[in-house]
Chains A and B, each alone.
Chain A
Amino acid sequence: MQTDLLPMIGAVLVAAIVGSLHCAGMCGAFVALAVGLDRQVSRTRLLAAYNGGRLATYATIGLAAGTIGQLFDAGGTAVGLQRGAAWLAAATMIVMGAVALARATGWRAPAIPVPAFCQRAFAAVARWSATLTPTRRALAIGLATGLLPCGWLYAFALLAAGTGHALTGALVMAAFWLGTTPVLVGIGAGVRMIAGPIGRHAPAAMATVIIIMGVLLAADRAALDPARFVGMTASAALASNDEPLPCCAESSKP
């Protein structure tokens, strides 16, 4: 376990919990579709299938994003750019958050249109899921949920990429999943009550959170020693503070 991951994972968790009010509105209907339709199958099982599906997709996205980040970093190091993925991801997040914040507070910039094929694909998946058995349907909906072009979700995917490490990326997305799960499980248990007073400011708050996460990523990654990037024990980190570990040296070889 990398010790420097704790603040990052913690921050992702807190941010995800804060932003999960959005998830309640956005995915509430899907939860209902996945869990609410069938009274024969136990709700726990359907919830588990739905959220398991979500976790699988999220973790895969995190893994993919992390791998891209890692490859990007490897390539960047070869041309003398240190931790490019972190910088790029952080910059994108900050811009993304700033635009969202400006739009939420009244800036009339047009939104990036959603590609039509995406819309069609989703409709197709939704139609298909209706033909499945309840548990499979819940799983399918859970799996598909991660593929919604949700800005909030993909801000965290960016963060995952910014970590520049495949497994860490997966871990970031898993933490995001963990943070959003309580609300999606607890829909109907008064989540709306909290959402009422806070919901009005949710878009602005979420945009701000994205900016903060971006800044955090930039500050964190910039300040870190490369040796801490790879999986190693705390004591090993202390012992080998100065020399890069073999795998690091390897990745910078080509």
Chain B
Amino acid sequence: MSAIATQLAPPAPARVACSHCGLPVPPADVAAVASEPSYCCGACRIAADAIRSAGFESYYALRDRYQQELERSRSTGKQFAEFDDTVFVERHVVAVEDGQHTCELYLEGTHCAACVWLVERLPRVVPGLVESRLDLGRSIVRLRWEAAAVPLSAIARALDRFGYAPHPATAADARRSRRKADRAALVRIGVAGACAGNVMLLSAALYSGMFEGMDETTRVAFEILSAIIGTLSVVWPGRVFFKGAIAAMRVRSWHLDMPIALALAAGTVTGIANIIFGLGELYFDSVTMLVFFLLAGRWLQDRGVRSAADAVELLRSLTPVTAHAVRDDGTIEDVASFSLEPGQTVEIHPGETAPVDGIVVEGRSTLDNAILTGEPRPIETSVGDPVAAGAVNLAGTLRVRAEAVGADTRLGTVLQQVERLGAERVPFLGRADRVAGPFVIIMLLLAAVCVAIWAPIDPHEAIKHTTALLIVVCPCALALATPLVTAAAVHKAARTGVLVKSADTFEKLAIPGTVFLDKTGTLTHGEFTIIDHIGDPSILPMAAAIERDSPHPLARPLERYDERHSAADVLHEAGLGVIGTVQGVAVAIGRRAWAEAVGASFSNEQIAFADHAARLGHTPVFIASADGRSSVLAMGDRVRDESACFVETLQGLGWDVTILSGDRQETVAAVAEQLGVRPGRALGGCTPEQKLAAVKSATKRGVAVMVGDGVNDAAALAAATAGLAVHGGTEASLAAADATLIKPGLAPLSALFTGSRRVRSAVVRCLGASLCYNVLAASAALLGLISPLVAAVLMPISSLTVVLLALSAKTITRPQDATP
């Protein structure tokens, strides 16, 4: 009954978004039944229909697949039960009216309007979810749902299925205040734009009136109106420039806001004075346009800087949200990780991530410490051994007594370092600011010169030519050249497979310096594969059967030998190996002694092979069966096919290539030799601190670029002039880097390096073009060769030329698809 009532009742004042375009639907047009689509206008209805009949569904599928290909389907398959945990709810979920709840989640892998489209249509897939709004700039989704109808975990799973893994949005307060600031900036831009548009219209009318005669009252009215709007623009949105200038004056330093503030003040005062004394020339059109363009440019740059800072939030989500705390009475309770305290004991199940730094008090297992050390080799751990937060438990269940939690853990310290380094970095001050301030001053000076030249000849001519000068000289083209070229390059880079976070990355990569390459996961695949083997291959399918369900990374490469035999009596012995029975025969895999215990022996040749593999930095794995068969595998991290080409490209561009790795020196040296890197430039056994120190000292000498993945590289990535994170690396390094690879392989990075140089020359070309235009136009105007009308036509044409020049520049080109 009540359900029917709610269906039939006119929809609540809550907005209904158009099923096609997303704008609010006029209340009269909202479909009576909620499941029916509502359209805001007839055109949308037709468009939606056309899309359906064009077989557009297949398009959506295509796009999703494309998306997934880009991100290699990041679906984590997690259950997100912790999202329903009372502690989580207390911390992140806000109850709003009518039993509805809201929550903000950080989504991985959102980067275009298609993502927005997909995420915002989530309510159609998840019944009970009322609204899902994605803030693309911050990758934050705001969810509103009926708490009684659907748990948050179900929504999170749906998001995860779409390929956007959700994380709790921590530091929500900081973000909220930032959003407020952002809104204020948008409002300022809007007001500045509206002012500029109106003043331009009034000015155009005034200029045309100058020729055709305009009645005096109208002219004065128009002038006063534009003065009011112009002053409003300077006093309200333009206030930020004065604030900056005054603040800088207080501390007696120079600030880019100073010339801007001066120019704005001069323009406004002169304009007002000219109205009062009837001297004619108004500067309000230029002044308002300038405020608008400067604010808009600044906002765009801020977004770039902020996206880097936001990414740090992602780092925090590397440690698990919940932990299994062991109570004094021995019972186990799932609690939120941040509520843990030192001294408490936690249980870590196989496949889980350690939430704390601590000491193992019970159990035996193998830990994957790659997140901290970058070492792909698992480490045997038993009672008394240390465990670091972020380490992944691969084998048995461990009980760990916490020694440090949260920000005090090693991982936490690294993250804080990343954050600090990120903040230390000098924010990218855009060319718009650099150019516009002096530009306006020069413009006003030129205007004064123009008046001075022409006034003695003919006051009327002086006004006319000064007007032409003020119109024709266009700061927009100069201010927009750099942002446009870089924006286009960012876009092109994304299509080749590199997401560039800050636009100044291109600038940094244009001049060669030192480039540090991480080995594991960057130059190599970052995972164990069988590099070589010797002995009886018939034993491998049996080994594969035994290792089938093992989470051990050494087990995964064996998968390809799996012939679906069944294994029985499988026994893992941490630190030694594994034994099991396949087709009635006992087979042991692991260390030599462990394997031999089954009743087989290894030949001298096999042992020599194992020794040689160990010298190369590979791991020998012994396999033996009770019926006397034996084999030795050399397992290791294979060097990527394109690594040699990448190194060659870098060296060709003049970069000094150095390999930095936490791996053993022999392994690193072997890789360096293979890639043509000088032996002195292959540094193995580096701790994160040593990597950071190497990068830092290189930045003092010049440009230092770090290419790497893993949290152990995070500090180095942030400290480098430019940090490039590689796909397949840990989320954390993606956060600290300036650019991140979203496709496997290094080919897109080669394109980024070669393209950055072209970006620089394209910027120079655009700046040159607009500078030439401005110089020529200003000279012509000074000489009285162009009328204000011609100037008004020339100005947009010049801007358009620069825009086209910027967008058409061939900067980042796609690498040949024929990469091996």
Binding site for B on A (CB under 8 A): 1, 3-4, 6-7, 10-11, 14, 21-22, 24-30, 32-33, 36-37, 39, 43-44, 100, 103-104, 106-114, 118-119, 122-127, 129-130, 148-151, 153, 187-200, 202-203, 228, 234, 237-238
Given A6-B208, A200-B15, is A26 in contact with B47 using a C-beta cutoff of 8 Å?
yes
Q: Are A192 and B28 in contact (CB under 8 A)?
A: no
Given A106-B27, A197-B186, is A37 in contact with B15 using a C-beta cutoff of 8 Å?
no
B residues in contact with A129, CB < 8 Å:
54
Cβ of A175 to closest chain B Cβ, rounded Å: 11
B residues in contact with A43, CB < 8 Å:
495
Binds A, one of B131-139, B335-343, B356-364, B426-434: B131-139
Q: Are B208 and A32 in contact (CB under 8 A)?
A: no
Instruction: Give A33 to B284 CA distance when docked, in angstroms.
Output: 43
What is the 8 Å Cβ interface bit string for chain B, positions 557-580, against chain A (1 contact, 0 not)?
A: 000000000000000000000000
Identify which of A32, A109, A113 contacts B28 (C-beta below 8 A): A109
Q: Are B113 and A10 in contact (CB under 8 A)?
A: no
Q: Are B211 and A234 in contact (CB under 8 A)?
A: yes
Identify which of A25, A32, A123, A234 contacts B63 (C-beta below 8 A): A32
**B22 interfacial by beta-carbon distance below 8 Å:** yes
Identify which of A28, A44, A149 contacts B42 (C-beta below 8 A): A149
**B449 interfacial by beta-carbon distance below 8 Å:** no
Q: Are B211 and A3 in contact (CB under 8 A)?
A: yes
Instruction: Give A119 to B50 CA distance when docked, in angstroms.
Output: 8
Identify which of B40, B135, B137, B208 contacts A4 (C-beta below 8 A): B208
Identify which of A10, A100, A126 contacts B54 (C-beta below 8 A): A126
Chain A residue with Cβ nearest B790: A1
Q: Are A28 and B21 in contact (CB under 8 A)?
A: yes
For the complex, would chain B's binding face be called helix, strand, loop or mixed by DSSP majority?
helix
Chain A residue with Cβ nearest B55: A130
* Total CB contacts across the A-B interface at under 8 A: 173
Chain B residue with Cβ nearest A201: B24
**B604 interfacial by beta-carbon distance below 8 Å:** no
Identify which of A14, A123, A196 contacts B49 (C-beta below 8 A): A123
Given A3-B208, A7-B204, is A122 in contact with B21 using a C-beta cutoff of 8 Å?
no
Instruction: Give A147 to B41 CA distance when docked, in angstroms.
Output: 14
> Mind listing 6 A-B residue pairs with CB under 8 Å?
A6-B204, A7-B208, A26-B47, A149-B46, A192-B136, A199-B22
Identify which of B23, B29, B40, B53 contacts A123 (C-beta below 8 A): B53
Q: Are A151 and B211 in contact (CB under 8 A)?
A: no
Q: Are B183 and A197 in contact (CB under 8 A)?
A: yes
**B603 interfacial by beta-carbon distance below 8 Å:** no
Q: Are A36 and B63 in contact (CB under 8 A)?
A: yes
What is the 8 Å Cβ interface bit string for chain B, positions 787-815, against chain A (1 contact, 0 not)?
A: 00100110000000000000110000000
A residues in contact with B56, CB < 8 Å:
29, 33, 126
Which among B20, B21, B133 has the highest number of chain A CB atoms within 10 Å? Answer: B21
Beyond the given A7-B204, A111-B26, A202-B23, please list 18 additional residue pairs across the A-B interface where CB-CB is below 8 A: A21-B23, A30-B47, A103-B27, A107-B28, A109-B28, A111-B28, A123-B49, A123-B52, A127-B55, A149-B46, A189-B491, A190-B136, A192-B116, A193-B136, A196-B133, A199-B24, A203-B24, A237-B212
Contacting residues of chain B (16-45) with chain A, CB-CB under 8 angstroms: 18, 20-24, 26-29, 40-45
Chain B residue with Cβ nearest A110: B28
Q: Are A103 and B28 in contact (CB under 8 A)?
A: yes
Q: Are A234 and B21 in contact (CB under 8 A)?
A: no
Which among A151, A190, A200 has the highest number of chain B CB atoms within 10 Å? Answer: A190
Which among A4, A107, A127, A192 has the highest number of chain B CB atoms within 10 Å? Answer: A192
Q: Are B18 and A25 in contact (CB under 8 A)?
A: yes
A residues in contact with B15, CB < 8 Å:
200
Given A111-B28, A126-B53, is A11 in contact with B21 using a C-beta cutoff of 8 Å?
no
Instruction: Give A237 to B208 CA distance when docked, in angstroms.
Output: 11
**B201 interfacial by beta-carbon distance below 8 Å:** yes
Q: Are B113 and A192 in contact (CB under 8 A)?
A: yes
Chain B residue with Cβ nearest A112: B42
Chain A residue with Cβ nearest B182: A193
Instruction: Give A126 to B113 CA distance when docked, in angstroms.
Output: 22
Q: Are A33 and B789 in contact (CB under 8 A)?
A: no
A residues in contact with B197, CB < 8 Å:
10, 14
Q: Are A191 and B113 in contact (CB under 8 A)?
A: yes
Identify which of A4, A29, A36 contacts B20 (C-beta below 8 A): A29
Q: Are B116 and A122 in contact (CB under 8 A)?
A: no
Q: Are A148 and B46 in contact (CB under 8 A)?
A: yes
Which among A29, A112, A153, A188 has the highest number of chain B CB atoms within 10 Å? Answer: A29
B residues in contact with A151, CB < 8 Å:
41-43
Q: Are B51 and A14 in contact (CB under 8 A)?
A: no
B residues in contact with A196, CB < 8 Å:
133, 135
Q: Are A111 and B29 in contact (CB under 8 A)?
A: yes
Instruction: Give A12 to B26 CA distance when docked, in angstroms.
Output: 25
**B205 interfacial by beta-carbon distance below 8 Å:** yes
Instruction: Give A113 to B695 CA distance when docked, in angstroms.
Output: 67
Identify which of B23, B40, B66, B113 contacts A188 (C-beta below 8 A): B113
Chain A residue with Cβ nearest B56: A33
Identify which of B47, B53, B62, B190 contacts A37 (C-beta below 8 A): B62
B residues in contact with A194, CB < 8 Å:
186
